[in-house]
Amino acid sequence: MTLVSFHYLALAICLACLLMQLRVKQKQTAHILFAVFCGSLAMIAARKITGHSVGAYQYLIGMGACATCNCYWLLARSMFRKHQPIALVHIALAIVIALLVVIKQGYLFANAQWLSVDNSFTVLTGVLSELTTLLSSCVLVLTFWEGCRGFNDCTRTEKAQRVLFLATFGLAVGISKSMQPYVTQSPELKDWTVSIITLFVLVSTQAQLLWHFGLSGKRGKSGSAPESRAISNTEPVNCNSDGDQLLDTLSRLIHEEQYYLQPNLKVADLARALDVPEYRVSRALKPQLKEANFNQFINRLRIEHAQKLLRDPENQHWPVLVIGLESGFASVGPFTRAFKSVTGTTPNQYRKQMQENEHAAVIQ
């Protein structure tokens, strides 16, 4: 197989993985991020295939390759962090890295089209390259850390998933670094090495997403879809002092420590956090529930949190997606549906109503 043929194969696999994310019925944040990651790798493969045949326009194609290591870091956070995996600061850092890539490629395009190479151009591209490399190295370290943090607190299945992630990521980085002395003298060998490593990470990550979420997109043990757990009505409530103490502890865990902001929170997660049997948590929570089941109870708390964020003037520039992520929802679709079921309006409509009410109050 020639190198160009391998790039065609990589492009096909990138597009296939991207389409797989589009077909997931209940998309999580990880699916969206992986789709962006696949699209960015597809642009890299397309640039390799076209080569210099498109002239300066190869740099415009290169702009699309701005969501690789930065996007993979966000993907790792969304896979392994249960409580507020992605905040505004994380998105901002990823965007900064993407902008550095876009600016550099745009400058290369402008220089190839209209400018002539001079010292100032060389210095600028050098600074952009060094800064991008520095920030990219930082997020690579952070990506590896995401697989390590909280490892001892994970279940056996979650540990196995993290081991696969760390092995894949560590092997890719290790091979890349060990091959560095050899690829500097051979551009073709460098192309082969980078392409094989990229394809290996791509396929492995797709397998990990299937393991985490299954084909349906719901997170569960070993990737199976979890059922919405209703609190059992068959067991009597034991209102002894031990039960009252457990109820107080659960109330503090949910409300004060804001465990409801943890995406895909289940009764089993609370039981594991307190190291008590799951049936005891279900029985202790039963008196508190005014909803049909545990999921609706948690979603109502999340919606109340989202309403506070939407009313806050300092958050007016936040997109609905960020509000949903900050409120414990894994993606914008479930957030919008849950918000409308509780308030009767969409998040955008609610924000607009609050702004209009505030404006009317100021006028009066």
276 and 201 in one domain? no
Same domain, 354 and 325: yes
210 and 287: one domain? no
Cα–Cα distance measured from residue 294 to residue 248, given in angstroms and rounded to the nearest whole number? 17
Q: What is the residue range of 282's domain?
A: 241-363
How many domains is the chain partitioned into structurally? 2
Tell which of 156, 190, 222 closes a domain.
Answer: 222
Domain end call among 222, 249, 280: 222
pLDDT for 238-297, tens place per residue?
Answer: 434 455 778 888 888 888 888 888 888 888 888 888 888 888 888 887 766 666 688 888
300 and 194 part of one domain: no
Q: Largest alpha-carbon pair distance within the chain?
A: 82
Domain end (from 160, 188, 222): 222
In the predicted model, what is the mean pLDDT of residues 185-203? 86
Tell me the C-alpha distance between 353 and 249, whole Å. 37
**Element holding 73 (H helix, E strand):** helix 69-80
At 292 the pLDDT is 67
Residue 230 covered by a domain = no
Q: What is the pLDDT of residue 278?
A: 84
Q: How far is CA 65 from each of CA 40, 60, 71, 162, 350, rounded to the nearest angstrom? A: 5, 10, 11, 26, 37
Q: With bands split at pLDDT 50, 70 and 90, how would you rate the model's confidence at 71?
A: very high
Specify the pLDDT at position 9. Answer: 93
Same domain flag for 170 and 251: no
Q: Do 142 and 249 fall within a single domain?
A: no
In a domain, 113, yes or no: yes
* Residue at 308 is within a domain: yes
